[in-house]
């Protein structure tokens, strides 16, 4: 039997949790409590705690543009400047995978799956 992990599985199991972990860490680093970070991210406080402790979402260390996008999203969350969180996560995911630099039409594509 051949067991094959699809790219979508890798994204859901590895990349998205790593993005959330990086966001949680960035929020706390910028003065947010774990509870307020959890609210901003729409996740449980226990998940934030696990992200910070490295028990969850720890497999990927982001660099360059992806890291900058994560830092910017964290700051925008703190300042309540995020219009579409899902689109921003998709932008970060695309950057991490090295694809699609122009997200002008991405918002419409994402909205059809919400």
pLDDT tens figures, 35-82: 999 999 999 999 999 999 988 877 788 999 999 999 999 999 999 999
Q: Distance of CA 94 to CAs 9, 37, 43, 56, 88, Å?
A: 15, 23, 22, 21, 10
Residue with tokens 């699609």: 100
Residue 93 CB partners (closer than 8 Å, separation 6+) = 11, 15, 16, 19
pLDDT in tens, 6-17: 777 878 888 999
Among residues 62, 72, 65, the alpha carbon closest in space to that of 14 is found at: 62
């Amino acid at each position: 039997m051949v067991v094959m992990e699809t790219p979508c599985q890798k994204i859901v199991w590895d990349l998205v949790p790593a993005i959330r972990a990086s966001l949680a860490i960035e929020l706390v680093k910028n003065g947010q409590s774990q509870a307020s970070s959890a609210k901003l991210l729409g996740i449980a406080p226990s998940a934030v705690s696990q992200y910070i402790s490295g028990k969850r979402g720890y497999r990927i260390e982001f660099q360059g543009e992806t890291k900058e996008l994560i830092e910017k999203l964290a700051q925008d969350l703190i300042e309540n400047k995020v219009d579409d969180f899902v689109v921003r996560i998709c932008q970060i995911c695309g950057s991490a995978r090295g694809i699609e630099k122009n997200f002008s039409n991405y918002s419409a594509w994402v909205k059809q799956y919400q």
